[in-house]
Chains A and B, each alone.
Chain A
């Protein structure tokens, strides 16, 4: 298949890259994403108004989502390496996710993706190697970007496709949750994502440019960490995090 987005696909003998990018970005993927709000529920509880949601999406794309996209690219490279070792990227990402509830949320999403990866391509070294991530952070399952990178390697995604899948999913998680938390016109939320295109592409370029786990940007967002902590203590939640 000629694929202008992924000229390397044919060389790798894989035709699933472009399809895989769509699969990983699809909210219908049965990996638990529908129960997550990317901390929007905590933000709304703290007073974030409907008209501030696009700014919240942009803030994530410039901070936590950018770190996660870069981690996914590093994981993709690790998944293509032999032997596969996700330990360095898992440890680097865990260290840059200071909020315990957000580490738990990422591990929960990673668990759903791991279940999918093992059902889809159990024998692939990039998938079999996921145990190396947990070995690096005992007690913490592989984080979402690490498993997305592993799936990206197994499905033949490019680095840009993998990073974009992380960023797009982050933005869409917010918009889907916004419809439950600030009921409004579903069509209007599509505009929010389209308007985030420049931020998404800037984050894709930044993610692809990261050379090694030590260079992983440490872009945390203290207010998001705070909202996530408060949300974890709340007893009336729609979303896990």
Chain B
């Protein structure tokens, strides 16, 4: 039951134990599967909960509950009014309410995963909702997607290139796709993931453990990938004035 004396405003990260980790990315790239994998691998180690966003309320929540990877009551679906991008960025109310409720009901939680409704390449989480975010692509979406860039691809805390096991069937060179992504990300991590590749799953879990440890220590500072990625026009590395731009700018 709620406590009327407690402010509904989320405490700043230094005062909050729980790491709020967002998972964004286009439809069908394997966000729910990635979350199921994290629950399966980490729920014995950390106290966890999940918030899902869908076009129709609870498809993803039902998928996760049926996967049996986490107690059903720790998986909550929120309605987004058919605006999944709004619900993670411009008006995060419904998601924030769900996250705060889970943190209160299952206190103390170590990790809350927030799955965005599958959206386009420009949808990223507001840092007012989450502390860190994974952006999820998949090889089946085409090898050139990582090169196209976007805020999630360019600046999410981790970029996952999912379903790497499918690469031979869709004619994608995973190494090339990862290299393209690394170039677009200025050194931020990229992970080729397949749930059937234990080594890649272990890398994903290690990354989450690392962010969680930094969050608990107060060393992690939430970064906003921004609504749109800065990108430069003209020849790469050509340094000149604004008229011809070395400028990275926002459209």
Residues on A lying within 8 angstroms of B by beta carbon are 28-37, 108, 111-112, 114-115, 118-119, 122, 130-131, 134-135, 138-139, 141, 177, 180, 235-240
Q: Which residue of B lies closest to A238 (CB)?
A: B82
Residues of B within 8 A of A112 (CB): 93, 97
**B1 beta carbon closer than 8 Å to chain A:** yes
Known A34-B87, A119-B9, A238-B79; further 8 A-B contacts with Cβ < 8 A: A30-B90, A115-B9, A131-B4, A235-B58, A237-B79, A238-B81, A238-B82, A240-B94
Report whether B4 and A134 are in contact in the complex, using a CB–CB cutoff of 8 Å. yes
Report whether B97 and A34 are in contact in the complex, using a CB–CB cutoff of 8 Å. no
Residues of A within 8 A of B1 (CB): 138-139
Q: How far is A112 from B87 in the complex, measured between Cα atoms in Å?
A: 13
Report whether B57 and A237 are in contact in the complex, using a CB–CB cutoff of 8 Å. yes
Report whether B92 and A114 are in contact in the complex, using a CB–CB cutoff of 8 Å. no
| Also in contact, A108 and B58, with CB within 8 A (given A32-B91, A138-B1) | no
Within B36-71, the residues touching A (CB, 8 Å) are 55-58, 62
Report whether A35 and B81 are in contact in the complex, using a CB–CB cutoff of 8 Å. yes
Residues on B lying within 8 angstroms of A by beta carbon are 1-2, 4-5, 7-9, 55-58, 62, 78-83, 86-87, 90-94, 96-97
Residues of B within 8 A of A235 (CB): 56-58, 62
From A114, A135, A236, A240, give the contact of B8 (CB < 8 A): A114
Report whether B56 and A238 are in contact in the complex, using a CB–CB cutoff of 8 Å. yes
Q: How far is the CB of A89 from chain B (nearest CB, A)?
A: 16
Q: How far is A114 from B80 in the complex, measured between Cα atoms in Å?
A: 20
| Also in contact, A35 and B92, with CB within 8 A (given A118-B8, A235-B57, A235-B58) | no
Residues of B within 8 A of A34 (CB): 80-81, 83, 86-87, 91
Q: How far is A235 from B8 in the complex, measured between Cα atoms in Å?
A: 28
Report whether B4 and A115 are in contact in the complex, using a CB–CB cutoff of 8 Å. no
Report whether B93 and A115 are in contact in the complex, using a CB–CB cutoff of 8 Å. yes
Residues of A within 8 A of B86 (CB): 34
Q: How far is A53 from B51 in the complex, measured between Cα atoms in Å?
A: 33
Residues of B within 8 A of A130 (CB): 4
Q: How far is the CB of B59 from chain A (nearest CB, A)?
A: 8
Residues of B within 8 A of A37 (CB): 81
Residues of A within 8 A of B92 (CB): 30
| Also in contact, A180 and B82, with CB within 8 A (given A115-B8, A237-B56) | yes
Residues of A within 8 A of B8 (CB): 111, 114-115, 118
Q: What are 11 A-B residue pairs whose CB atoms fall within 8 Å in the complex?
A: A30-B92, A35-B79, A108-B97, A112-B93, A122-B7, A141-B2, A177-B81, A238-B57, A238-B82, A239-B81, A239-B82
